[in-house]
Structure 1
């Protein structure tokens, strides 16, 4: 048998394959190996286009094209990370056939996908920058709800299941799924998100984040997380660049394929509430190649899924701020302040909290289309379209216990005091948090090679929305003792069981908590409509010239322009209160009850609210005059929370690729110019403080950012690579901080103007990265990376509220506006390893282990008055880890994954005490997931996944690093997913 050689280089240089093949009785056989290592190359497709002759190399690299008649044919070879290579060969009646291929490798920034973990490892190994790659098989081997949670399986990535959007805090977390990610210690707004290389629209209202929970794992082939950014990548990525990649027809060996997947899901916490706990999903995809030499390709996919949930929540944090301010110091001065020498966080106690159930569903659908034309090795053109929609209904029924009339009694003769909670108010608060999110991308592009030149044009469009179209709420409360509720008179409200507060109250109070129908009807309903969206589009042109003279391998340069428009609105209508003595139960909106508000912990009942009946009640009293967003005049209420803006970014870059034997050096320079124009509402007042009709205001911001970089890669052999990089990057401030609405108030002759700040500086960073990656050649690989970031002008995510607000001006006119923070530092180490014990005797050769560990240290000076000069950076855990044990052999796969995330700061100075002791922390969390799958052959595969196998708490936030006295907690139970897939 002849020996075929296939030299694989995924990043630079050319690939030469030589087959010395016997062609007897029309059979062409051979073996494909990497000549540098001698390792066989599996999953390489060998085809004769336009015919049915095709083969895929086996694990040992062997392949056979059987029964090929005498004649001349075009033979192609393709593999992930390589451009398809073609050559003509004549098959004689007998004798040998020599076939030679030259295939230029595909750079990682091109749309290359990885079907399995081993191809993903190869892509990482051959990249010229530090990346993590998640393959299609990785996505199939998880029980995650969405791609945000999938990213959490990679080193350096933290997944947050709430944010500071329209829906934040415990309300967002109680949906029970990951929403946003931080990379290497920096929030989602410090990252760039791409779909097939296209910048996606940022539909979030108050930040530049992208809500990744709307994207399901299905329909994606590969996720690439770039931890470093070369000059040919967008410069506004201090954290990282995430590229979600979908397949094309040319990513499949066969000229025609399709697959269909059906899945079912079960949410166990919803079962505890006896609510709808089931969900299902359908997905299909198809791809075909046709035309002369199969030069045309079409890929189409579509999906639909729905999940129902009902989760438990306890909210003391959510009661600690406006408007109940339900917290106190357990030991205090006479005025209620913290005594000198006492740790204020450890001295906290809650004087009120909520317990409730959050139920609803999330429905997602979408799909992808890819049209490709590859007439020869020098020309290609494509069109890509992707669309994703997520609709969420969320209904939160919260049973509330709030201390009223808190005073302070002296403790003996000590001069210290403790709270006296004179009354307890029992309440019910029902609210909905509906959400409509969509995200779409479209692009048209191609590639053309003329001699040493490679030209790559691309035009693109993306649009996205994140809306809360009809949030409605209603409440009731006890009214005895002048509206204060039950007489109480104790210094503490609760004792703690497993760190959860349990009320120290009488059976009469518990009974009232479970019988809200008898309470007086209070308000007639409140409706809020919030909309946010962005449309962005543009084009880019990249050019590469291969020189191959001395150390200079090639130069690459390009330009890019993108423009975007966005708008955010937020309007509120309040119908006022009932005053006729009717009860809450008489309103006709109660349709049943939950027998236990938080099964196993808090066992009183709460009602099930009929949302349709509530809307009918609201509409009975609704009036345009009830609009009360932020003022007294209708025109101001309609426009005060509306912000519009445009942002245009122009960029140009140049880089060179230098090679000195085994050393590759890539110096580069990028320049980006940004022009932002904001439109916002100005609400003025006259000298007597009376509100006047407002008007639109305008401001503009410009940024010019030079971004030099240098990368070095040393490859002493094909099994190892050592990287080092220094690069610069930046992030533009959130739109709401630049151009939020302007409010004017006048008091005692002093005019105070609160508005956004167009003079905010861009957040900039100098980044350092060193790494080493090794492959054992026996089923193992190891990656060790160290990174550092020096960040300047830091701005933290503060939702719709101005960050780091300061006052300036004169004694008669005071301006309040957001400002930049100071400098920050991030240092970290990532270790990732995987080993399959393939050299052990069968059946033990299917076992393997994998792990990744991240340790990082962060600090920042926010420059906010009173805060520590070395605060932890927001949403940056100190430890993150994933540990996996797996088995894969003869079509069977089994994965057991342990996931750990350390504690991190979510918000600074949560109680507004002008200090850091009251930062809001998210407690460390852990989860174990299980997956099992079997390939039955003939294209049939079945999988079973269980997320959160041991029913761990999914979210726990608390005020103060060392205190759990005031916490928000969400318990979501397990998610069980069963799927079956048929492929042809």
Structure 2
């Protein structure tokens, strides 16, 4: 067996860095030649991944980090999002904290500030309202590597304040064009299984094949297919709100009017939400390539990705009657309130069902070509057409017990734990015959986005080994059309209706781990629909249906035209790059606006232009020490929902309160000046240490504000709350990143030199933006950046000995702010600190087959959502459970 090498993998890197795909990172340093056809790769798994990450960081000209595929050609984690959490400065937001990693946060900035690309092309968004691409739609087998660019050149898309994550797809000419067939399959089990329905296994299967053919093997083809299934359940234990009591007098305190930092608290309501989910992902990818190995190369790519989520949500809640005795300023039905508990003499209860059938889909066709008439001149061009869709159909059924003394209970509070309720008459809250049906209905979200993208670039003397002066220029255009339609068909029970929960009760029940033997009542969806169809006379249409079917709809077009000019001067040790990018944006929105109680069509638009300078310097201080510095100006365009000139009216059925949520088609994009400094020390091919400092100054931050005012509504002067996004003040972000990669600890004696390590730490010091309170005048600074962690830490320790590889990965995120209130700062919500631990074991049977066992969330971490004074009150705790998978990797 020959000496360890990863040269075959590095050929993939040199191809991926071709300017035909992304000119901004085309100018890599020299990469070692590929191995001979007969040389066997003996570096595998986590070690191979670590070595590839070191080489990629050294080769790419911008400040970046990456995650690489393994020897099978797939990312060695559970999925694309999970793999990216190992990248320095990158964290992810899960789908409602219950699914796979969905959105990327780069250097503390949430997905609204970042860009996700595939082979250098920005794809349309498959989420309602946001610009973001959901990572859980993209199969991990698609990416041979994912590069996260943290500094920007003029050749790169300017809509990336936080950074750009670019997925590199496989080429048939990787590995000198030798044929490749590989894949993985596994089967798994979540220890929190579905409670209802036919349970099935979880697992995934991926297959990748590539070959070259024709005269001189100038043609190549890559095809891949993937399937993923997760069959599991989740539980959300929620204490949605707390009431505050003066600890001395027992009188009512309210925030923000009173200081409640030392008050006794009592839960406003207790709720369990039980989710049964079947998530499936399907992916097909094909690429046809041509490379004459001299002058011209081209590729045509077709891809289709689909993610479905079949969810049944069952909810049980109890709500305290929070009536107030005005004269005494006391909650009428609360007594004996202390720091650890109290009594409630009157309450209401509710059981409800929500079924969701959700499909996200992304399809695209991409053609790009590259022409190299000489060693120093390269030109490339490409066109991409993509369609992203989101469809969700939902069904709801609700059953209630009105406020009654029969639901009296005592509650017990234990800090950091879910509040315990002890009912005086448990048979009432647990009796289906006591719940009267309140409503039944359906709604649907239908979103479609089409995007046509074209790009062309020319580079002269800009390759990594070119010296002297070089120039690059290019043009870019993206033409987007987005449509959103919402439909609602809701019915409320008539006063004479006597429909009960009993005939629709499901046979299954569930006992929450923190429920003190309480068994949740479940609604059978089929029985609920049958009861509705059979008893139509007991229902009347909700009067809000007419407005609900038109008020949220919109159509949006956005045309972006860009051009850039960039120059580079390079010596053997220093490279200086500078340039300007121009981006012009033309936007139109069409929606229905409420005027005089009637929704009428309206169209608005705006346009803006940006000049975006950038500069970068790289200095090889020594053979292994590199210093980088960069400046850039970037923008962050507003989300689509924020731009749509629509107005959604909500009238509270109980209080009559009126709120109107609207978009703002005059929103300006965020604009940011970014400063980066990076020091990288490459001890050898196995060891990297790096440290980076960065600062971002973001102007025209976008925040949602609430304003209350008396205005004419439905012919009467009424108090109306308007919710609207606006451009606010400035936010700044400062931080440092520390990174260490040791592919092999050769300095350790004996068998210990099989250990390897990958560790990184990101620390942020942000100055969050200010938000206007409901009075429209008072402003307060947020407690943190939205959907961002101030501390991100990862440690992956692995060990290779012979055919065995063992690795464990730990990920920590500091608290993350995810919801902001404009009326009461204590209603801000954030995730508590999270710690996740995953592990993997591989046993290589021969050069073709490897057995893999892996575990996810092995410590059974339960995400917690906190709010209240000092974020010290537990609002929600989510249980997802552990997952264990066993399977195999195959390569021929």
**TM-score, normalised on structure 1?**
0.79
CA distance in 1, matches of 2:500, 2:725: 43
Residues 532 and 292 from structure 1, CA distance in 2 versus in 1: closer, same or farther, beyond 3 angstroms? same
CA distance in 1, matches of 2:462, 2:878: 59
Equivalent residue, structure 2, for 1:116:
49
Residues 487 and 591 from structure 1, CA distance in 2 versus in 1: closer, same or farther, beyond 3 angstroms? closer
Equivalent residue, structure 2, for 1:869:
781
CA distance in 1, matches of 2:286, 2:481: 25
CA distance in 1, matches of 2:828, 2:143: 38
The match for 1:486 among 395, 401, 406 is 406
Determine if the alignment matches structure 1 residue 247 to structure 2 residue 230: no
Equivalent residue, structure 1, for 2:654:
none
Equivalent residue, structure 1, for 2:505:
590
- For the 8 Å contact 1:266–1:277, the answer to whether it is kept is no
CA distance in 1, matches of 2:696, 2:825: 23
Q: CA deviation at 1:786?
A: 0.9
The match for 2:754 among 842, 846, 856 is 846
Determine if the alignment matches structure 1 residue 649 to structure 2 residue 589: no
Equivalent residue, structure 2, for 1:18:
none
Equivalent residue, structure 1, for 2:447:
532
Equivalent residue, structure 1, for 2:875:
967
Report SS of the residue matched to 1:844.
helix
Residues 193 and 646 from structure 1, CA distance in 2 versus in 1: closer, same or farther, beyond 3 angstroms? same
Structure 2: where are the runs of 5+ without partners? Answer: 19-28, 652-657
Q: How does 1:249-268 map to 2 (within 5 A)?
A: 249-253=172-176, 255-268=178-191
1:31-61 CA-partner distances (Å, limit 9, x unpaired): xxxxx99xx96x8233xxxxxxx3337679x
Q: How does 1:46-57 map to 2 (within 5 A)?
A: 46=36, 54-56=37-39
1:461-488 CA-partner distances (Å, limit 9, x unpaired): 12212221x2111122224xxx445263
Q: How does 1:49-448 map to 2 (within 5 A)?
A: 54-56=37-39, 116-137=49-70, 145-162=78-95, 172-173=96-97, 175-253=98-176, 255-270=178-193, 276=199, 278-317=201-240, 320=241, 327-329=243-245, 336-338=253-255, 342-344=259-261, 348-407=265-324, 421-448=344-371
Report SS of the residue matched to 1:56.
coil
CA distance in 1, matches of 2:151, 2:90: 14
Q: CA deviation at 1:527?
A: 0.9
Equivalent residue, structure 1, for 2:24:
none
Report SS of the residue matched to 2:323.
strand
Residues 808 and 525 from structure 1, CA distance in 2 versus in 1: closer, same or farther, beyond 3 angstroms? closer
Determine if the alignment matches structure 1 residue 659 to structure 2 residue 557: no
The match for 1:610 among 510, 524, 540 is 524
Residues 350 and 679 from structure 1, CA distance in 2 versus in 1: closer, same or farther, beyond 3 angstroms? same
Equivalent residue, structure 2, for 1:929:
838
Residues 769 and 826 from structure 1, CA distance in 2 versus in 1: closer, same or farther, beyond 3 angstroms? same
CA distance in 1, matches of 2:859, 2:494: 47
Determine if the alignment matches structure 1 residue 454 to structure 2 residue 378: yes
CA distance in 1, matches of 2:275, 2:646: 33
CA distance in 1, matches of 2:186, 2:172: 24
Report SS of the residue matched to 1:45.
coil
Report SS of the residue matched to 1:819.
strand
CA distance in 2, matches of 1:536, 1:869: 37
Q: How does 1:490-889 map to 2 (within 5 A)?
A: 493-496=411-414, 498-506=416-424, 508-509=425-426, 511-515=427-431, 517-546=432-461, 552-577=468-493, 582=498, 584-587=500-503, 589-596=504-511, 598-599=512-513, 601-620=515-534, 628=542, 630=544, 634=546, 636-685=547-596, 691-692=597-598, 694-742=599-647, 755-777=662-684, 779-796=686-703, 803-806=704-707, 817-835=724-742, 836-865=744-773, 866-869=778-781, 871-889=783-801
CA distance in 1, matches of 2:521, 2:330: 41
Equivalent residue, structure 1, for 2:388:
464
- For the 8 Å contact 1:853–1:879, the answer to whether it is kept is yes
1:883-925 CA-partner distances (Å, limit 9, x unpaired): 121102323211111111101211212xx52x43331111111
CA distance in 2, matches of 1:622, 1:895: 59
Report SS of the residue matched to 1:757.
coil
CA distance in 1, matches of 2:462, 2:698: 37
Residues 485 and 308 from structure 1, CA distance in 2 versus in 1: closer, same or farther, beyond 3 angstroms? farther
Q: CA deviation at 1:159?
A: 1.5
Report SS of the residue matched to 1:293.
helix
- For the 8 Å contact 1:542–1:557, the answer to whether it is kept is yes
Q: CA deviation at 1:768?
A: 0.7
Rg (Cα) greater in structure: 1
Report SS of the residue matched to 1:937.
coil
CA distance in 1, matches of 2:139, 2:462: 43
- For the 8 Å contact 1:575–1:621, the answer to whether it is kept is no
- For the 8 Å contact 2:114–2:163, the answer to whether it is kept is yes
Residues 963 and 818 from structure 1, CA distance in 2 versus in 1: closer, same or farther, beyond 3 angstroms? closer
Equivalent residue, structure 2, for 1:942:
851
Equivalent residue, structure 2, for 1:167:
none
Report SS of the residue matched to 2:51.
helix
Report SS of the residue matched to 1:149.
helix
- For the 8 Å contact 1:649–1:673, the answer to whether it is kept is yes
Residues 628 and 446 from structure 1, CA distance in 2 versus in 1: closer, same or farther, beyond 3 angstroms? farther
CA distance in 2, matches of 1:630, 1:768: 50
Q: CA deviation at 1:310?
A: 1.0
Q: CA deviation at 1:582?
A: 4.5
Report SS of the residue matched to 1:962.
helix
Residues 513 and 251 from structure 1, CA distance in 2 versus in 1: closer, same or farther, beyond 3 angstroms? farther
The match for 2:820 among 899, 908, 923 is 908
Aligned residues: 842
1:306-328 CA-partner distances (Å, limit 9, x unpaired): 111111211223xx4xxxxx644
Q: CA deviation at 1:808?
A: 9.6
CA distance in 2, matches of 1:345, 1:384: 62
Report SS of the residue matched to 2:321.
strand
Equivalent residue, structure 1, for 2:26:
none
Q: CA deviation at 1:393?
A: 1.0
**TM-score, normalised on structure 2?**
0.87
Equivalent residue, structure 1, for 2:21:
none
Equivalent residue, structure 1, for 2:25:
none
Moved more, 360-369 or 831-840: 831-840
- For the 8 Å contact 1:682–1:697, the answer to whether it is kept is yes
Determine if the alignment matches structure 1 residue 919 to structure 2 residue 847: no
Q: CA deviation at 1:783?
A: 1.6
Residues 256 and 283 from structure 1, CA distance in 2 versus in 1: closer, same or farther, beyond 3 angstroms? same
Determine if the alignment matches structure 1 residue 475 to structure 2 residue 398: yes
CA distance in 1, matches of 2:683, 2:789: 31
- For the 8 Å contact 1:182–1:188, the answer to whether it is kept is yes
Residues 929 and 275 from structure 1, CA distance in 2 versus in 1: closer, same or farther, beyond 3 angstroms? farther
Q: CA deviation at 1:743?
A: 6.4
CA distance in 1, matches of 2:724, 2:514: 47
CA distance in 2, matches of 1:621, 1:189: 46
Equivalent residue, structure 2, for 1:109:
none
Structure 1: where are the runs of 5+ without partners? Answer: 16-35, 47-53, 61-113, 163-171, 321-325, 686-690, 797-802
Moved more, 518-527 or 578-587: 578-587
Equivalent residue, structure 2, for 1:44:
34
